Amino acid sequence: MMDDIQFIAGKESTQEEFFHTFNALVDQNKQIIISADKAPSDLSGIDERLRSRLAWGLVADIHPTTYDLRLGILQSKREQLNANVPDPVLEFLALKVTSNIRELEGALNRIVAHADVSGAAVTLESTQEVLQDLLRSHDRRITIDEIQRKVAEHYNLRMTDMHSARRARNVARPRQVAMYLAKQLTARSLPEIGRKFGGRDHTTVMHAVRKVEELLDEDAQIAQDVDIIRRALTG
């Protein structure tokens, strides 16, 4: 297996050695896997005879992983580890760690190892604390303001309703959904989230998060709303 072959562009002696190595492996009926950031025909600075050999086999265009695929991988890994990791934590990781599968599985390994050493249960809060360095590097730049705006649009409310003291159900429930998404999609603490919702206490945010988590299992409409808004935000 050879990764990032585009980096040998313009290096004639390296290409010459690789050309002969490639031929020797093919003559021995060996399988060769090569990756690059372009199709073989689009590689510049690569000798024509080498490019033609790269095009011999199956050329596959690899796209970024989807949220559903990442979540499925994490669920499978959880079973392999026989670990007690709640679904919301897996969903959080699938949303936040999108660069590559090795890093995604590594993130799960870290939180499971931390739980084993500390004896504490895996929670969304502990996950954010253990992976704070990784999460910073994978910041999707989703802001609480953006979450509030999307939720308000979805429920046909005003942005001011996200900050107001109104407790009418048609306002309070969307506001709880926005708090839940703010906790899932940002690295902000509960007090920070509360301040963005009209200066509310962190316990109010905690209650909102738990309430929405309950409703996701009980209310199909809420589950659909959250999924639609989350996909609109993560794109």
CATH number attached to the domain at 144-234: 1.10.1750.10
Where in the chain are the domains? 5-54, 67-137, 144-234
Q: 195 phi and psi, to 5 degrees?
A: -65, -35
Task: Report the percentage of the chain scoring pLDDT > 90.
Answer: 46
Which residues, in sequence order, are CB contacts of 51 under 8 Å at separation 6+?
40, 41, 43
Average pLDDT over residues 56-78: 84
- What is the predicted pLDDT for the residue at 136? 73
C-alpha 138/C-alpha 141 separation (Å) is 9
Q: Is 151 left (phi over 0), alpha (psi -120 to 50) or beta?
A: alpha
| Distance, C-alpha 94 to centroid of its chain | 4
pLDDT over 90 at 194, yes or no: yes
d(CA 140, CA 48): 40
Q: Residue 130: its pLDDT value, please?
A: 92
**What is the pLDDT at residue 140?**
55
Q: How confident is the model over 21-61, as pLDDT tens digits?
A: 988 988 999 888 888 877 888 888 888 888 888 888 888 77
Long-range contacts of range 184-191, CB-CB < 8 Å, 24 or more positions apart? Answer: 184/88, 184/91, 184/92, 184/95, 184/124, 184/230, 185/95, 185/96, 185/140, 185/142, 185/147, 185/230, 185/233, 185/234, 186/142, 186/143, 186/144, 186/147, 187/128, 187/132, 187/135, 187/136, 187/139, 188/144
The C-alpha atoms of residue 145 and residue 137 are separated, in whole angstroms, by: 21
Domain 67-137 belongs to what architecture?
Orthogonal Bundle (1.10)
Other beta carbons less than 10 A from residue 161's beta carbon: 20
